[in-house]
Structure 1
Amino acid sequence: MKKVFGVLLVALLFVGCKQKITPAEVAKINGYWEIEKVVFDDGNEKKYGVNESFDYFQIDKNNSGIRKKVMPQLDGTFLVNDTFENVKVRFKDDQTFLDYNTPYMKWSEEILTLTPTELVVLNAEKKEYHYKKTGAIKLDDYGKKTK
């Protein structure tokens, strides 16, 4: 009986600890995000070492904007193209979603975690994408990283 009670208590803690994202916090998503890992629904993970592209989000006060793939260059610039996804932030009950659309398809991801340095989203295939906030890469002086 004690084991059952313990399991229920732990389960309630996980449910109760889910982050509720407010409209004021949505601005944290603006900027460059680098994927760190993907966690699959069976618990397996795929870690990413070096990424050739970052996701760039620009969301306005009306909770709509774009997501774009950008490729960082060693001189601090980004290679970009005209391809992007329209994004709308949607709040439903205690959940927050990113609703994407392009001329070809529509899909949604639930935001599980959003801090100034971390973003975790869950897609329809139950894959969690873990991102870290990043910025331009600029290497000068024989490979020394500069700010």
Structure 2
Amino acid sequence: MKKTVILFVVTSFFVACKPTVQEADLTKLNGYWEIQKVEMKEGEDKDYKVNPTVDYIEIKNNAGFRQKVMPQLDGSFRTNNLQETITLKNQDGTWNIYYKTPYGSWSEELIELTDSILVVKNQADLEYHYKKFKPFSKK
């Protein structure tokens, strides 16, 4: 019984210490993000070793856009100028990203956001893990 209580306390501590995204963190979304992996709800991961495109996100006052760009060897980016409109909303302490295009709309839950890590979960319980993109450097 004593071991069960200790296990419960330790587990509760780690669950309670799960970092939550704060409104002040939302500016960290700005910039270029490269997908690393997708965690499937069955527990499998799909890793992305090489990415021909990265996501560029620009947010101001909880609204902005996301668009796919293709990094070039000279440090520039190519794009087709198609953008997804983004709105950020806090619902019961959880930040959600709402996307809209002329073709549809969807949302993702913002799970983790730091200077170098972005994790979002979609409605199909797929978790998308991104890292800040580092542009190619000229040598």
CA gap of 1:11–1:123, structure 2 versus 1, over 3 A, is: farther
Contact 1:18 1:112 in 2 (8 A): no
Percent identity between the two aligned chains: 45
Distance 1:107 1:7 in 2: 39
Q: Report the TM-score when normalising by structure 1.
A: 0.86
Equivalence for 2:63: 64
CA gap of 1:14–1:54, structure 2 versus 1, over 3 A, is: same
Which ranges in structure 2 are unaligned for 5 or more consecutive residues?
Answer: none
Equivalence for 1:101: 100
What is the RMSD computed on CA atoms of the aligned residues? 1.7
- Report the residue type matching 1:96 in the other structure: W
- TM-aligned CA deviation for residue 50 of structure 1: 1.2
Equivalence for 1:117: 116
- TM-aligned CA deviation for residue 108 of structure 1: 0.7
Distance 2:9 2:59 in 1: 38
Distance 1:132 1:16 in 2: 25
Q: How many residues align?
A: 139
Distance 1:46 1:3 in 2: 37
Equivalence for 1:138: 137
- Matching of residues 1-147 of structure 1 within 5 Å: 1=1, 4-5=4-5, 8-9=8-9, 11-60=11-60, 62-140=61-139
- Report the residue type matching 2:100 in the other structure: N
Distance 2:14 2:124 in 1: 21
Q: Deviations over 1:6-56 (max 9, x none)?
A: 664455345313322222211001000001111111111111111101011
- TM-aligned CA deviation for residue 4 of structure 1: 4.9
Distance 2:11 2:102 in 1: 41
Distance 1:102 1:2 in 2: 55
Distance 2:133 2:16 in 1: 30
Which ranges in structure 1 are unaligned for 5 or more consecutive residues?
Answer: 141-147
Contact 1:38 1:46 in 2 (8 A): yes
Q: Deviations over 1:64-99 (max 9, x none)?
A: 000000000111010111211000111112211111
SS of the equivalent of 2:75 reads: coil
CA gap of 1:51–1:84, structure 2 versus 1, over 3 A, is: same
- TM-aligned CA deviation for residue 104 of structure 1: 1.2
